[in-house]
Structure 1
Protein backbone atom coordinates (compact mmCIF):
# COMPACT_ATOMS: atom_id res chain seq x y z
CA UNK A 1 0.00 0.00 0.00
CA UNK A 2 1.31 3.38 -0.96
CA UNK A 3 -1.33 5.84 0.25
CA UNK A 4 -4.31 6.43 2.50
CA UNK A 5 -6.88 5.57 -0.18
CA UNK A 6 -5.21 2.21 -0.76
CA UNK A 7 -5.41 1.54 2.97
CA UNK A 8 -9.12 2.37 2.93
CA UNK A 9 -9.61 0.08 -0.08
CA UNK A 10 -7.71 -2.73 1.64
CA UNK A 11 -9.78 -2.41 4.81
CA UNK A 12 -13.08 -2.41 2.88
CA UNK A 13 -12.00 -5.55 1.04
CA UNK A 14 -11.01 -7.16 4.32
CA UNK A 15 -14.48 -6.45 5.76
CA UNK A 16 -16.07 -7.79 2.58
CA UNK A 17 -14.12 -11.02 2.98
CA UNK A 18 -15.10 -11.24 6.64
CA UNK A 19 -18.80 -10.78 5.88
CA UNK A 20 -18.82 -13.31 3.04
CA UNK A 21 -17.14 -15.85 5.32
CA UNK A 22 -19.84 -15.22 7.93
CA UNK A 23 -22.62 -15.87 5.41
CA UNK A 24 -21.01 -19.24 4.70
CA UNK A 25 -20.63 -20.15 8.41
CA UNK A 26 -23.94 -18.96 9.87
CA UNK A 27 -26.15 -21.60 8.21
CA UNK A 28 -24.13 -24.35 9.91
CA UNK A 29 -24.45 -22.56 13.26
CA UNK A 30 -28.19 -22.06 12.72
CA UNK A 31 -28.57 -25.75 12.04
CA UNK A 32 -26.72 -26.80 15.21
CA UNK A 33 -28.25 -24.52 17.87
CA UNK A 34 -31.06 -25.91 19.98
CA UNK A 35 -32.34 -22.66 21.53
CA UNK A 36 -35.09 -21.13 19.38
CA UNK A 37 -34.32 -17.56 20.42
CA UNK A 38 -30.66 -18.03 19.50
CA UNK A 39 -31.57 -19.64 16.19
CA UNK A 40 -33.81 -16.68 15.37
CA UNK A 41 -31.03 -14.22 16.29
CA UNK A 42 -28.60 -16.05 13.99
CA UNK A 43 -31.17 -16.14 11.17
CA UNK A 44 -31.82 -12.41 11.55
CA UNK A 45 -28.11 -11.71 11.56
CA UNK A 46 -27.63 -13.75 8.39
CA UNK A 47 -30.15 -11.50 6.62
CA UNK A 48 -28.43 -8.40 8.05
CA UNK A 49 -25.05 -9.71 6.92
CA UNK A 50 -26.32 -10.10 3.36
CA UNK A 51 -27.40 -6.43 3.45
CA UNK A 52 -24.05 -5.45 4.96
CA UNK A 53 -22.31 -7.13 2.03
CA UNK A 54 -24.40 -5.02 -0.35
CA UNK A 55 -23.37 -1.88 1.54
CA UNK A 56 -19.70 -2.85 1.26
CA UNK A 57 -20.14 -3.42 -2.48
CA UNK A 58 -21.73 0.03 -2.70
CA UNK A 59 -18.89 1.59 -0.69
CA UNK A 60 -16.29 -0.04 -2.95
CA UNK A 61 -18.13 1.20 -6.02
CA UNK A 62 -18.08 4.74 -4.58
CA UNK A 63 -14.35 4.40 -3.97
CA UNK A 64 -13.75 2.91 -7.41
CA UNK A 65 -12.42 -0.47 -6.29
CA UNK A 66 -13.52 -4.08 -6.38
CA UNK A 67 -14.89 -5.54 -3.11
CA UNK A 68 -12.96 -8.76 -3.59
CA UNK A 69 -9.22 -8.93 -3.30
CA UNK A 70 -8.39 -9.63 0.33
CA UNK A 71 -8.86 -12.63 2.61
CA UNK A 72 -9.73 -11.76 6.18
CA UNK A 73 -7.49 -14.10 8.13
CA UNK A 74 -8.81 -12.88 11.47
CA UNK A 75 -12.37 -13.90 10.61
CA UNK A 76 -11.12 -17.13 9.13
CA UNK A 77 -9.56 -18.00 12.50
CA UNK A 78 -12.62 -17.02 14.51
CA UNK A 79 -14.88 -19.13 12.32
CA UNK A 80 -12.52 -22.10 12.50
CA UNK A 81 -12.81 -21.88 16.29
CA UNK A 82 -16.61 -21.98 15.98
CA UNK A 83 -16.38 -25.03 13.70
CA UNK A 84 -14.16 -26.75 16.26
CA UNK A 85 -16.73 -26.09 18.97
CA UNK A 86 -19.42 -27.66 16.83
CA UNK A 87 -17.37 -30.80 16.33
CA UNK A 88 -16.06 -30.97 19.93
CA UNK A 89 -19.22 -30.34 22.00
CA UNK A 90 -21.96 -32.95 22.10
CA UNK A 91 -24.37 -31.43 24.63
CA UNK A 92 -26.83 -29.07 22.89
CA UNK A 93 -27.15 -26.66 25.81
CA UNK A 94 -23.40 -26.38 26.22
CA UNK A 95 -22.97 -25.91 22.48
CA UNK A 96 -25.51 -23.07 22.46
CA UNK A 97 -23.51 -21.23 25.14
CA UNK A 98 -20.25 -21.86 23.30
CA UNK A 99 -21.68 -20.64 19.99
CA UNK A 100 -22.95 -17.43 21.57
CA UNK A 101 -19.42 -16.83 22.81
CA UNK A 102 -18.00 -17.57 19.36
CA UNK A 103 -20.57 -15.30 17.72
CA UNK A 104 -19.76 -12.47 20.13
CA UNK A 105 -16.06 -12.78 19.32
CA UNK A 106 -17.06 -12.35 15.66
CA UNK A 107 -19.25 -9.34 16.53
CA UNK A 108 -16.47 -7.67 18.52
CA UNK A 109 -14.05 -8.22 15.64
CA UNK A 110 -16.55 -6.64 13.25
CA UNK A 111 -17.24 -3.73 15.59
CA UNK A 112 -13.52 -2.96 15.70
CA UNK A 113 -13.22 -3.32 11.93
CA UNK A 114 -16.21 -1.18 11.03
CA UNK A 115 -15.26 1.50 13.55
CA UNK A 116 -11.77 1.70 12.11
CA UNK A 117 -12.84 1.81 8.47
CA UNK A 118 -15.60 4.33 9.19
CA UNK A 119 -13.00 6.64 10.75
CA UNK A 120 -10.67 6.17 7.77
CA UNK A 121 -13.52 7.06 5.41
CA UNK A 122 -14.32 10.17 7.44
CA UNK A 123 -10.67 11.26 7.37
CA UNK A 124 -10.58 10.70 3.59
CA UNK A 125 -13.60 12.99 3.22
CA UNK A 126 -15.79 10.09 2.08
CA UNK A 127 -18.82 10.89 4.24
CA UNK A 128 -21.16 8.82 2.06
CA UNK A 129 -19.01 5.73 2.65
CA UNK A 130 -18.66 6.58 6.35
CA UNK A 131 -22.46 6.70 6.69
CA UNK A 132 -22.84 3.24 5.14
CA UNK A 133 -20.22 1.86 7.52
CA UNK A 134 -21.82 3.59 10.52
CA UNK A 135 -25.14 1.92 9.73
CA UNK A 136 -23.48 -1.49 9.75
CA UNK A 137 -21.50 -0.64 12.89
CA UNK A 138 -24.75 0.09 14.73
CA UNK A 139 -26.25 -3.21 13.54
CA UNK A 140 -23.20 -5.12 14.78
CA UNK A 141 -23.45 -3.46 18.19
CA UNK A 142 -27.16 -4.26 18.36
CA UNK A 143 -26.51 -7.92 17.49
CA UNK A 144 -23.87 -8.12 20.21
CA UNK A 145 -26.31 -6.70 22.76
CA UNK A 146 -29.02 -9.14 21.66
CA UNK A 147 -26.63 -12.08 22.02
CA UNK A 148 -25.65 -10.89 25.49
CA UNK A 149 -29.32 -10.81 26.53
CA UNK A 150 -29.97 -14.29 25.16
CA UNK A 151 -26.87 -15.63 26.91
CA UNK A 152 -27.60 -14.08 30.29
CA UNK A 153 -31.37 -14.61 30.27
CA UNK A 154 -31.47 -18.27 29.27
CA UNK A 155 -28.69 -20.01 27.38
CA UNK A 156 -25.87 -19.74 29.90
CA UNK A 157 -28.17 -20.81 32.74
CA UNK A 158 -29.17 -23.88 30.74
CA UNK A 159 -25.51 -24.68 29.97
CA UNK A 160 -24.62 -24.33 33.65
CA UNK A 161 -26.85 -27.34 34.35
CA UNK A 162 -24.24 -29.53 32.60
CA UNK A 163 -21.80 -29.01 35.51
Structure 2
Protein backbone atom coordinates (compact mmCIF):
# COMPACT_ATOMS: atom_id res chain seq x y z
CA UNK A 1 0.00 0.00 0.00
CA UNK A 2 2.75 2.42 0.80
CA UNK A 3 4.27 1.91 -2.61
CA UNK A 4 1.01 2.78 -4.35
CA UNK A 5 0.67 5.99 -2.34
CA UNK A 6 4.22 6.97 -3.19
CA UNK A 7 3.67 6.51 -6.89
CA UNK A 8 0.37 8.37 -6.66
CA UNK A 9 2.12 11.26 -4.98
CA UNK A 10 4.81 11.30 -7.66
CA UNK A 11 2.33 11.41 -10.49
CA UNK A 12 0.39 14.14 -8.70
CA UNK A 13 3.59 16.08 -8.23
CA UNK A 14 4.43 15.76 -11.88
CA UNK A 15 1.05 17.08 -12.89
CA UNK A 16 1.26 20.13 -10.66
CA UNK A 17 4.80 21.05 -11.62
CA UNK A 18 4.12 21.32 -15.32
CA UNK A 19 4.62 24.83 -16.58
CA UNK A 20 1.96 26.27 -18.83
CA UNK A 21 2.94 26.79 -22.42
CA UNK A 22 3.53 30.40 -23.30
CA UNK A 23 2.40 32.03 -26.46
CA UNK A 24 5.36 33.18 -28.51
CA UNK A 25 3.36 35.64 -30.58
CA UNK A 26 3.91 39.24 -29.60
CA UNK A 27 1.55 42.08 -30.30
CA UNK A 28 3.46 44.47 -32.54
CA UNK A 29 4.07 47.90 -31.08
CA UNK A 30 2.05 50.71 -32.56
CA UNK A 31 4.04 52.43 -35.27
CA UNK A 32 4.19 55.79 -33.50
CA UNK A 33 4.31 54.48 -29.92
CA UNK A 34 6.53 56.41 -27.51
CA UNK A 35 9.81 54.62 -26.90
CA UNK A 36 10.69 56.48 -23.74
CA UNK A 37 9.69 59.32 -21.45
CA UNK A 38 11.17 61.88 -23.84
CA UNK A 39 8.93 60.63 -26.67
CA UNK A 40 5.91 60.53 -24.36
CA UNK A 41 6.66 64.09 -23.24
CA UNK A 42 6.85 65.35 -26.83
CA UNK A 43 3.71 63.46 -27.83
CA UNK A 44 1.81 64.90 -24.85
CA UNK A 45 2.97 68.40 -25.76
CA UNK A 46 1.53 67.94 -29.25
CA UNK A 47 -1.74 66.82 -27.69
CA UNK A 48 -2.13 69.81 -25.35
CA UNK A 49 -0.96 72.17 -28.09
CA UNK A 50 -3.89 71.03 -30.22
CA UNK A 51 -6.18 71.28 -27.18
CA UNK A 52 -5.18 74.88 -26.39
CA UNK A 53 -5.59 75.96 -30.02
CA UNK A 54 -9.04 74.35 -30.18
CA UNK A 55 -10.01 75.95 -26.88
CA UNK A 56 -9.00 79.39 -28.15
CA UNK A 57 -11.58 78.93 -30.93
CA UNK A 58 -14.32 77.68 -28.56
CA UNK A 59 -14.01 80.31 -25.81
CA UNK A 60 -15.45 83.22 -27.83
CA UNK A 61 -18.63 81.16 -28.43
CA UNK A 62 -18.90 80.44 -24.70
CA UNK A 63 -18.43 84.12 -23.87
CA UNK A 64 -21.06 85.15 -26.42
CA UNK A 65 -23.59 82.70 -24.95
CA UNK A 66 -22.95 83.53 -21.28
CA UNK A 67 -25.19 86.12 -19.63
CA UNK A 68 -23.56 86.64 -16.23
CA UNK A 69 -21.14 89.62 -16.45
CA UNK A 70 -18.56 87.99 -14.14
CA UNK A 71 -18.65 84.80 -16.17
CA UNK A 72 -18.31 86.70 -19.46
CA UNK A 73 -15.27 88.54 -18.08
CA UNK A 74 -13.71 85.33 -16.74
CA UNK A 75 -14.07 83.68 -20.16
CA UNK A 76 -12.65 86.71 -21.98
CA UNK A 77 -9.69 86.85 -19.59
CA UNK A 78 -9.07 83.15 -19.97
CA UNK A 79 -9.12 83.48 -23.74
CA UNK A 80 -6.16 85.87 -23.47
CA UNK A 81 -4.40 83.44 -21.11
CA UNK A 82 -5.09 80.57 -23.52
CA UNK A 83 -3.41 82.48 -26.34
CA UNK A 84 -0.41 82.87 -24.03
CA UNK A 85 -0.53 79.13 -23.24
CA UNK A 86 -0.26 78.39 -26.97
CA UNK A 87 2.78 80.69 -27.18
CA UNK A 88 4.39 79.04 -24.15
CA UNK A 89 3.94 75.62 -25.72
CA UNK A 90 5.59 76.90 -28.89
CA UNK A 91 8.46 78.17 -26.73
CA UNK A 92 8.67 74.76 -25.10
CA UNK A 93 8.98 73.08 -28.50
CA UNK A 94 11.74 75.59 -29.37
CA UNK A 95 13.56 74.74 -26.14
CA UNK A 96 13.42 71.09 -27.18
CA UNK A 97 14.67 72.06 -30.66
CA UNK A 98 11.49 70.61 -32.15
CA UNK A 99 8.93 72.02 -34.54
CA UNK A 100 5.66 72.93 -32.79
CA UNK A 101 3.15 70.36 -33.97
CA UNK A 102 -0.43 69.74 -32.93
CA UNK A 103 -1.90 66.26 -32.64
CA UNK A 104 -5.66 65.96 -32.25
CA UNK A 105 -6.60 65.58 -28.61
CA UNK A 106 -9.65 63.33 -28.41
CA UNK A 107 -10.20 64.19 -24.75
CA UNK A 108 -10.41 67.92 -25.43
CA UNK A 109 -12.58 67.32 -28.49
CA UNK A 110 -15.04 65.43 -26.31
CA UNK A 111 -15.08 68.17 -23.68
CA UNK A 112 -15.64 70.87 -26.30
CA UNK A 113 -18.43 68.83 -27.89
CA UNK A 114 -20.07 68.55 -24.49
CA UNK A 115 -19.84 72.33 -24.04
CA UNK A 116 -21.41 72.83 -27.47
CA UNK A 117 -24.28 70.52 -26.49
CA UNK A 118 -24.95 72.59 -23.38
CA UNK A 119 -25.32 75.69 -25.54
CA UNK A 120 -27.72 73.86 -27.86
CA UNK A 121 -29.81 72.32 -25.08
CA UNK A 122 -30.30 75.38 -22.85
CA UNK A 123 -31.78 78.82 -23.26
CA UNK A 124 -29.83 81.98 -22.36
CA UNK A 125 -29.80 82.61 -18.62
CA UNK A 126 -28.58 81.20 -15.33
CA UNK A 127 -29.05 77.53 -16.26
CA UNK A 128 -26.94 77.94 -19.40
CA UNK A 129 -24.35 79.90 -17.39
CA UNK A 130 -24.21 77.09 -14.82
CA UNK A 131 -23.73 74.61 -17.68
CA UNK A 132 -20.99 76.74 -19.21
CA UNK A 133 -19.19 76.79 -15.87
CA UNK A 134 -19.54 73.01 -15.50
CA UNK A 135 -18.17 72.41 -19.01
CA UNK A 136 -15.39 74.95 -18.48
CA UNK A 137 -14.33 73.35 -15.21
CA UNK A 138 -14.12 69.94 -16.88
CA UNK A 139 -11.76 71.52 -19.40
CA UNK A 140 -9.76 73.16 -16.60
CA UNK A 141 -9.44 69.89 -14.70
CA UNK A 142 -8.20 68.15 -17.83
CA UNK A 143 -5.66 70.92 -18.40
CA UNK A 144 -4.55 70.91 -14.75
CA UNK A 145 -3.94 67.15 -14.94
CA UNK A 146 -2.10 67.48 -18.25
CA UNK A 147 0.14 70.39 -17.25
CA UNK A 148 0.90 68.76 -13.90
CA UNK A 149 1.99 65.58 -15.66
CA UNK A 150 4.01 67.47 -18.27
CA UNK A 151 5.76 69.46 -15.54
CA UNK A 152 6.67 66.21 -13.78
CA UNK A 153 8.09 64.82 -17.04
CA UNK A 154 10.04 68.04 -17.71
CA UNK A 155 11.53 67.89 -14.21
CA UNK A 156 12.71 64.28 -14.63
CA UNK A 157 14.03 65.01 -18.13
CA UNK A 158 15.86 68.10 -16.81
CA UNK A 159 14.07 70.34 -19.31
CA UNK A 160 14.26 73.43 -17.10
CA UNK A 161 12.98 75.94 -19.68
CA UNK A 162 9.94 73.79 -20.40
CA UNK A 163 9.36 73.19 -16.70
CA UNK A 164 9.18 76.91 -15.98
CA UNK A 165 6.74 77.49 -18.87
CA UNK A 166 4.53 74.56 -17.92
CA UNK A 167 4.36 75.56 -14.24
CA UNK A 168 3.30 79.10 -15.19
CA UNK A 169 0.45 77.72 -17.25
CA UNK A 170 -0.48 75.22 -14.54
CA UNK A 171 -0.86 78.06 -12.03
CA UNK A 172 -3.12 80.00 -14.40
CA UNK A 173 -5.30 76.95 -15.05
CA UNK A 174 -5.74 76.42 -11.31
CA UNK A 175 -6.59 80.09 -10.80
CA UNK A 176 -9.19 79.96 -13.58
CA UNK A 177 -10.79 76.88 -12.04
CA UNK A 178 -10.96 78.58 -8.63
CA UNK A 179 -12.51 81.70 -10.17
CA UNK A 180 -15.18 79.63 -11.94
CA UNK A 181 -16.02 77.92 -8.64
CA UNK A 182 -16.35 81.30 -6.95
CA UNK A 183 -18.63 82.64 -9.70
CA UNK A 184 -20.84 79.54 -9.49
CA UNK A 185 -20.98 79.63 -5.69
CA UNK A 186 -21.75 83.33 -5.38
CA UNK A 187 -25.34 83.37 -6.51
CA UNK A 188 -25.21 81.93 -10.04
CA UNK A 189 -26.13 78.34 -9.11
CA UNK A 190 -28.90 79.65 -6.84
CA UNK A 191 -30.36 81.67 -9.75
CA UNK A 192 -30.32 78.55 -11.92
CA UNK A 193 -32.80 76.82 -9.57
CA UNK A 194 -35.57 79.22 -10.56
CA UNK A 195 -34.50 79.98 -14.13
Category of TM-score, reference length = shorter chain: over 0.9
Counterpart CA distance in 2 for 1:89 and 1:22 is 21
CA RMSD of aligned residues (A): 0.9
| Deviation at residue 10 of structure 1 after TM alignment | 0.5
| Deviation at residue 69 of structure 1 after TM alignment | 3.7
Counterpart CA distance in 2 for 1:96 and 1:8 is 35
Counterpart CA distance in 1 for 2:143 and 2:171 is 11
User: What does residue 86 of structure 1 align with?
Assistant: 119
Structure 1 segment 37-76 matched on structure 2, within 5 A: 37-76=70-109
| Deviation at residue 2 of structure 1 after TM alignment | 1.6
Larger mean CA deviation between 100-109 and 153-162 belongs to 153-162
TM-score normalised per structure 2: 0.81
1:127 aligns with one of 150, 155, 160: 160
| Highest RCO, 1 vs 2 (Cα 8 Å, sep ≥ 6) | 1
TM-score normalised per structure 1: 0.97
Counterpart CA distance in 2 for 1:103 and 1:69 is 21
Equivalenced residues, count: 162
Question: Is contact 2:67–2:124 with CA below 8 Å preserved after alignment?
Answer: no
Distance 1:69 1:91, change over 3 A: closer
Deviations 1:9-44 (A, max 9, x none): 101111101100100100100100000100000000
Question: Is contact 2:49–2:102 with CA below 8 Å preserved after alignment?
Answer: no
Can you give the 5+ residue segments of structure 2 that lack an aligned partner in the other structure? 1-33
Name which one, 1 or 2, has greater alpha-carbon Rg: 2
Distance 1:91 1:32, change over 3 A: closer
